Amino acid sequence: MAMTEETPGQNGPSPAQAAPSDCGRLLLLDGHSMAFRAFFALPVDKFTTSTGQSTNAIYGFTSMLIKLLRDERPTHIAVAWDLSGPTFRDEIYTDYKAGRADTPQEFPSQVEFVQELLKLVGITSVSAPGYEADDVIATLAARGREEGMEVLIASGDRDAFQLVDRTCTVLYPGKSISDLTRMTPERVQEKYGVPPERYRDLAALVGEKADNLPGVPGVGPKTAAKWIAKYGSLEELVAHADEVTGKAGQSFRDHLDQVLRNQQLNRLDPDVRLDAGVHDLTMGEADRSGVNDLFDNLEFASTLRDRLFSVLGEAEQTAAPAVAAEEFSVDLTAAEPGTVAAWLQRHASSGARCGLAVTGTWGAGTGELTGLAVAAPDGPALHADPAALGADDESALAAWLADPRFPKALHDSKGPLLALWARGWELRGLTSDTALAAYLVQPGGRKFELGDLCRRFLNRELTEQQGDGGQLALDLGEGEGDSRAAERLDLAVRARATLDLAAGLDSDLDKRGGAALLRDVELPLVRVLAGMERTGIAADRAYLDSLEEEFAAAVRQAVAEAHRVVGREFNLGSPKQLQQILFTELDLPKTKRIKTGYTTDADALAWLAARTDNELPVILLRHRDQTRLRTTVEGLVKTIAADGRIHTTYNQTVAATGRLSSVEPNLQNIPVRTDAGRRIRRAFVVGEDYQHLLTADYSQIELRIMAHLSEDTALIEAFQTGHDFHAEIAARVFGIDVTEVDGEARARIKAMNYGLAYGLSEYGLSQQLGITPKEAKALMDDYFVQFGGVRDYLQAVVDRARRDGYTETMLGRRRYLPDLTSDNRQRRDMAERMALNAPIQGSAADIIKVAMLDVDTALREAGHRSRMLLQVHDELVLEVTADELDPVRKLVSDKMAGAYPLRVPLAVSVGVGRDWHDAAH
């Protein structure tokens, strides 16, 4: 029923800590109510996957479920759900729940994911046609009490308070998803002035806005509670209606029929026919693999699944328990002076792959090595403390690491490589990076920690090891020695886990056709990216400081102008204050309604700026732009290292399409199409001993890949005319000469061209161009008349992906899309969009990676000092010496253009300058 916002006072007694009673503890959750609470507790814009799926309700619901399982330790559990369609209450009152605000469009699709998660963890979902979730809960609660069970109800609907008694407690959520108030009989009496069994009477008098049940005018909760306390019940109050004095009494008599109807509607039915009985509600066996896959698709961090698995491990015995820790045990040797060379010769020189694990710190292009373990294929493991190695041992270990004849597996190798380089060591012979291999096997995942991958692919838990640790126990004292022993053993176990995991992932990659992509592209790219991170790019600190002050002044000016327009000071960053000013004081047109009022996001402000003459929305947009730019510049200044350069960190395992990402700072996110963004790029300059920055990027690479894959003759010809490509396409679509194409026509076709490559729908195109969906459809139809090969290709891509279960790039990068056959339309549509853009975007990502490898190799083979600094999607930035400019310019152009043979040429644009902006082209 109603999902309200009120929090009934402070928390009551702490969660149950004692073991459940002999008859059991039954926990019942109101699914929609708790999911809705979670939706509004977490910002939807912060919980969205790369494909656009909102996940805030799923994440919040899961967090609440974990807390409830951990704190309450139920023996039986169920989640009740509302069903679509009318209930018996709608038959009684046709306006029941009428006038409710529309459900946010980001919410409904999340409910199915929550229900899927519940099924995977073995929790029963219960519903009944014609009834609401709280009727189902009332029925299960009654049956639980009959069996002598303690009953707990987690619900944000206050109607559940009528179920409270000595054996039934309602856990009512507060403002945060972790804040649950325990509504006992005493707590209900204290809060509302009536006992739980009379709460329905109180609600009948006061009404419930969320359910469209009007209360008695002039009668609030205190008056209603006083009447009920005096007469004992609503029935007795009605019997003595003539005795109630004052205007409130007359109002009560005037609305008596309404009150009695409310009481009837508020009653929760405790006798609903259900398929499940309370004894059927024990938790089933959890499908951990299914949970892992679901969380990967939702792009949840491993911390959430770790918390969930931890509490599930306490609540139930899983169907496939993790392998005991001793199965990951190792025969560990701590390197003693003069023993390293002999150990490596005996155990790690057979030509069979060894596992590596490294401890240390790394980032900002450098690192520090503090420990290294080698797990040999025949079982033993060696731990080496770099700080304690003698010259001979260090030389032997460094030589083994640098020898490509000895194959090695390492997890997430770029950071360890930087630490090894910082010590002066080299690493060759890397045949597997288990993070990269897992990413290629499951590119939809977001986190690839070693422990998580061991659970997922080996069904083993990477936990602290028990036992004597082999020879490690020798010569170690108490206290610190025990700690060091545990750390060394843990690192050795990680090396063993990496070796075993690499073997399993090799098999999966062979089955999925990704072995060559790992061997020829992703693994070699690790060294290139590490080199770029170590080099960094020079930054002009003084210029950035002046730019930051300029943006700060612009922010202050915007604040002053906003205060002038409103006539008083206010907080421009407060949505609540902006709502009051925009929609109440200034009475501007209402934007999209959200839980807290009307949205004041950037799209809403832009809409207001276009619809009204009021200058405040424009000022607010400018304030946000300048604030964002100032924040960007401040972040850049903070990341300038002691060498005067900014060393970003690249990640190969974030984007499912294969694109690289950049963090700390994100140099791929600096605006390039705005004047302010271009001014920020001026801060990136050529470094000492170099004379030029050279930028080179692909022109319209996605569209060229589209032409290649679709083999559309007209599209290929359009690239070969020598005309402006988008103008040429516009001329063909609109049936005019290319010289007649104006800016608007070109812009529409440009949006169409790129939109098709990104899986844009008719609705998406209409939003982008500001036209109706009907006009967008007509534009797409006209486009496909001219380019039928593109239409056929796009249809074939989805059909093949639906048949095979995945899409594939030109280099064999697969993306698995099980939702293509989902019964959920939203999930199916989302999967179809991914199927359309993954081959094109993924192929573009693969091509730029190949180009980077070819450019790097060519620079080294030619003996050039010039070097790559950055990769920004389709663009490379290099630092070039004066004498190498011409040969490097040609080298980069040739290698990028020849990275992959297409049916249309790969066009490369090159620019040169003293800073990144001046090197634009």
- The pLDDT tens digits of the residues spanning 495-511 come to 999 999 999 999 999 99
The CATH topology of domain 25-191+269-280 is Rossmann fold (3.40.50)
Q: Give the pLDDT mean for 880-886.
A: 96
Q: Give the pLDDT mean for 785-809.
A: 91
Name the more confident of 416 and 604: 416
Contact yes or no for 108/60 (Cβ under 8 A): no
Q: Which two tokens mark 485?
A: 């022993």
Contact yes or no for 501/458 (Cβ under 8 A): yes
Name the more confident of 248 and 348: 348
Tell me: pLDDT of 473 over 50.
Answer: no
Among 601, 615, 609, residue whose Cα is nearest residue 562: 615
Tens digits of residue pLDDT in 133-142:
999 999 999 9
Q: What is the per-residue pLDDT for 315?
A: 55
Contact yes or no for 502/474 (Cβ under 8 A): no
Q: What is the per-residue pLDDT for 323?
A: 34
Contact yes or no for 881/865 (Cβ under 8 A): yes
Q: What is the per-residue pLDDT for 773?
A: 83
Tell me: pLDDT of 577 over 50.
Answer: yes
Q: What is the per-residue pLDDT for 354?
A: 97
Among 289, 389, 288, 295, residue whose Cα is nearest residue 335: 389
Q: What is the per-residue pLDDT for 649?
A: 96
Q: What is the per-residue pLDDT for 329?
A: 63
Tell me: pLDDT of 408 over 80.
Answer: yes
Out of 5-19, 353-367, 420-434, 544-558, least confident range: 5-19
Average pLDDT, the chain: 87
Domains of the chain, by residue range, sit at 25-191+269-280, 325-536, 538-625
Tell me: pLDDT of 487 over 60.
Answer: yes
Cα distances (angstroms) measured from residue 862 to each of 692, 858, 910: 18, 6, 20
- What residue type is 506 in one-letter code? D
Q: What is the per-residue pLDDT for 690?
A: 97
The region, left, alpha or beta by phi > 0 then psi within -120 to 50, assigned to residue 616 is: alpha
For residue 754, give the 3-state DSSP assignment.
helix
Tens digits of residue pLDDT in 674-718:
888 889 999 999 999 999 999 999 999 999 999 999 999 988 988
Q: What is the DSSP string of 557-626?
A: HHHHHHHHHHTS---TT-HHHHHIIIIIIS-PPP--EETTEE--SHHHHHHHHHH---SHHHHHHHHHHH
Provide the CATH number for the domain formed by 538-625 in this structure.
1.20.1060.10
Rounded distance, CA 48 to CA 299, Å? 9
Rounded distance, CA 151 to CA 650, Å? 51
- Indicate the pLDDT class of residue 63, thresholds 50, 70 and 90: very high
Q: Give the pLDDT mean for 601-615.
A: 90
Q: What is the per-residue pLDDT for 466?
A: 37
Identify the CATH homologous superfamily for domain 325-536.
Ribonuclease H-like superfamily/Ribonuclease H (3.30.420.10)
Out of 309-323, 422-436, 624-638, 705-719, least confident range: 309-323
Query: Element (H or E) spanning 124, and its range?
Result: strand 124-126
Q: What is the per-residue pLDDT for 817?
A: 84
Q: Give the pLDDT mean for 455-480.
A: 51
Question: Strands of 875-880's sheet, edge to edge?
Answer: 867-872, 875-880, 692-698, 908-913
Tens digits of residue pLDDT in 148-173:
899 999 998 889 999 999 999 999 98
Q: Write down how long the chain is.
A: 921
Tens digits of residue pLDDT in 195-243:
999 999 998 898 887 777 888 898 988 999 999 999 888 888 888 888 8
- Indicate the pLDDT class of residue 3, thresholds 50, 70 and 90: very low
Tell me: pLDDT of 16 over 60.
Answer: no
Q: Which long-range contacts (CB under 8 A, 24 or more apart) does 314-321 make?
A: 314/69, 314/70, 314/73, 315/69, 315/73, 315/74, 315/283, 316/122, 316/283, 316/284, 316/285, 316/286, 317/285, 318/285, 318/286, 318/288, 319/285, 319/286, 319/287, 320/288, 320/289, 320/459
Contact yes or no for 696/875 (Cβ under 8 A): yes
Tell me: pLDDT of 194 over 50.
Answer: yes
Tell me: pLDDT of 618 over 50.
Answer: yes
- What residue type is 128 in one-letter code? A
Tell me: pLDDT of 406 over 80.
Answer: yes
Q: What is the per-residue pLDDT for 776?
A: 84
CA–centroid distance for 156 within its chain = 26
